[in-house]
Amino acid sequence: MDSKIQQARLLENLGDVARPIREALENGGAPAVVPIIRAQFRKDVAKFNQQMDRAFGEFPDEAGMVRRTMDQFVGNILAPYEGGAIDIAGARENLELMMERTRNAILALPVIPLSQVFEDGAPFEFYLWLRAVCSTARSRFALIDPYVSPDVFHRYLDAVSPGVKVTVVTVQANSKNWPALLSVARLYDAQHPFELREDPAPHDRYVLADDQAYSVTASVKDAAVKASCEVKAAADVNHVDGLIAAAKPIAI
């Protein structure tokens, strides 16, 4: 499986690991279920580490950093349950801090840029890849596609982390439902750093996440639906940045 998808799944599983602790804190500490929470948390962390070792065992230094962070996670999160009264506010703050540290360690895992052909009739495989790219972007994500549809927001951009700048470059004349796209874009813009741009004469299709660019041979909405779609790691990120800069901002 593509390492970018593996990385995204580790991030999803991190949320699953922390969920019982978060729910207990929301219920005032739930002291009656402390033994259950402690046992389940340790069990979930063990599964998480096994998954990481299978996916990134060839990178022992980086994987070891994630393991050490998870060990700190376990110690720091379970510590409030070892004594008597629990400082709920402090425990919540500590949980979010450890979540952020662990997330950063996961995002530091080496990911080999993908060059792959998604065959005709395999749109779900492309969906998994692009959503993984969205969810693992750390500072910026951009999509250059002349045929963007409104569902790009809930299918893909919804997975981008809060605070990550998102840019979409498209062509208004090609949209079958431009008013709907603008309407969803406004909602998205209210909660995310976002800009919509137009290039009336687009060249190719690109996906950009941080400092890694990919060329895509089909529009996102049709990728691998009726024809194969090839994704290649683009070497010249500056070229993609130039296309974005040259596109005209659209007021939303």
- How confident is the model over 118-165, as pLDDT tens digits? 989 889 999 999 999 999 999 999 999 999 999 999 999 999 999 999
Are both 238 and 132 inside the same structural domain? Answer: yes
Please tell me whether residues 70 and 128 are part of one structural domain. Answer: no
pLDDT score, position 127 = 93
Same-domain pairing of 151 and 225:
yes
Q: Which of 45-54, 67-76, 155-164, 221-230 has the highest mean pLDDT?
A: 155-164
Q: Which domain holds residue 38?
A: 3-107
Verify that 72 and 128 share a domain, yes or no.
no
Q: Sheet harboring 116-118: ordered strands across?
A: 116-118, 229-234, 212-216, 205-209, 140-144, 165-170, 194-198, 248-250
pLDDT value at residue 159 = 93
Q: How confident is the model over 195-244, as pLDDT tens digits?
A: 999 987 777 899 999 989 999 999 999 898 988 999 998 768 999 999 99
- State the pLDDT at residue 79: 66
What is the sign of the dihedral through the CA atoms of 175, 178, 184 and 186?
positive
Residues 156 and 86 in one domain: no
Mean pLDDT, residues 31-41: 65
Q: What is the CATH number of the domain that holds 96?
A: 1.20.1440
Q: What band does 60 get if pLDDT is binned at 50, 70 and 90?
A: confident
